[in-house]
Amino acid sequence: MALGQADPMADIRGLLADLPAIDRAARLKTAQLIAAHGEGAEFGRLRQLALWLADWRGAPPNITRPHLAIFAGRQEGIDAIGFRTPSALVDRQIDDLQSGTHPAARLCARHGFGLAVFDLARASPLPDPRLAEAMDPRAFAATIAFGMEALAPQPDLLLLTQIADGEEIAHAALALRLYGGEARFWLGAERAPKPTEAAIDAVEAIAARHAATNDPLELLRRVGGRDLAALCGAIIAARKLRAPCIIEGIGAVLAAGVLKAIVPDSLDHCLFARGDSQDYVDAIFDRIGVRPVIDFGLVRTRGCAAGFLALAAQSVCAMFG
């Protein structure tokens, strides 16, 4: 899945143009197994979960190597706006994830899941997208390729989320360009603290600067951030390797939305675990035509929601294997 240098954007589109389809024979066989093992019972969404796993892992599905990949990014230029996750908090959470003390890390350790935090050059933040393109085509393709490294441990179930500071404005601007509406909404009008007028102006300025294109991939390259590009790479690589994905958190959902806007069936191997409570997250779910499979009311837990859905997936395999 290497990306060339002659036309890296075309290489990315080429990967998206040739995605594996579901294994219909495995789905049918798993449906028959469920019917045979649970005669007279209705398994509802557990049945759907088992069939989805069979689509990508064969029949009967078996999940033994879940792996949580967390992409950590940073974007420059909005510190003065006063509307961002504090860098010190993000740094602390990354340290806790890497040291094993964060709840998501403890969950992974307890159940034998892999865990990796990918530092996306946080020491060299992306430029302010009000003033310049976030990445040139080669840097963008390199970040996509870096995201594909999440598949290096060969997981049979990939859990994806992100952690970043300084990207709230860019994420809102990307959503505004992809889906329309108002800047205030995509910043989270109901959140506390409420979006400042400076933050709203910044989102509108980014959207205006990059109004020359409606291409989702180009918008992601120009607006950022690195975490979203890497997440796209991980989702693409997982599909190529037939590894089902569980996606958690606003950034990961937005990255998935970029791929959905390019290739409508690009997320067939993905399920979603709610990791944010904002209305704008529901709006993205609506735009991409999905609903989260589980919702425990978790917010920014950096993989805990995805981890619980992975445990459900393993339990389903035990039930119907």
**Is 25 a residue whose pLDDT tops 60?**
yes
Q: Enumerate the β-bridge partners of residue 273.
A: 248, 294
pLDDT of residue 74: 87
pLDDT band of 8, cuts 50, 70, 90: very high
Residue 243: which residues within 8 A CB-CB, separation 6 or more?
56, 151, 155, 156, 157, 158, 269
CB distance 23 to 239 below 8 Å: no
Please report which residue ranges of 116-249 form alpha helices under DSSP H.
137-148, 168-179, 183-187, 197-209, 216-223, 226-240
- Has this prediction a pTM greater than 0.85? yes
For residue 210, give the amino acid letter.
H
Cα 187 to chain centroid distance, Å, stands at 18
Give the whole-angstrom CA distance, residue 19 versus residue 27: 18
How many residues belong to the chain?
321
CB distance 68 to 308 below 8 Å: no
Output the DSSP codes for 9-35: HHHHHHHHTSPPPP-HHHHHHHHHHHH
pLDDT of residue 79: 53
* Residue of 274, 238, 283 lying closest to 259 (CA atoms): 238
Query: Looking at the chain, which residues constitute the CATH 3.40.50.10210 domain(s)?
Result: 65-316
CB distance 96 to 109 below 8 Å: no
For residue 100, give the amino acid letter.
G
Give the whole-angstrom CA distance, residue 265 versus residue 288: 10
Residue 18: which residues within 8 A CB-CB, separation 6 or more?
none
Average pLDDT, integer, range 37-48: 88
pLDDT of residue 20: 97
pLDDT per position as a tens digit, 94-103: 999 999 999 9
Give the whole-angstrom CA distance, residue 318 versus residue 222: 45
* CA count, 13 A, side-chain hemisphere, 78: 32
Encoding tokens for residue 136?
A: 């040139």
**Highest CATH level, class, for 65-316:** alpha beta
For the stretch 82-104, what's the b/e string if a residue is b when 16 or more beta carbons lie within 10 angstroms of its beta carbon? ebbeeeeebeebbebbbeeebeb
The average confidence (pLDDT) of the chain is 92
Helix (H, G, I), strand (E, B) or coil at 162: strand
pLDDT per position as a tens digit, 174-202: 999 999 999 999 998 776 677 888 889 99
Distance between first and last Cα of the chain: 32
- The owner of tokens 């240098």 is 5
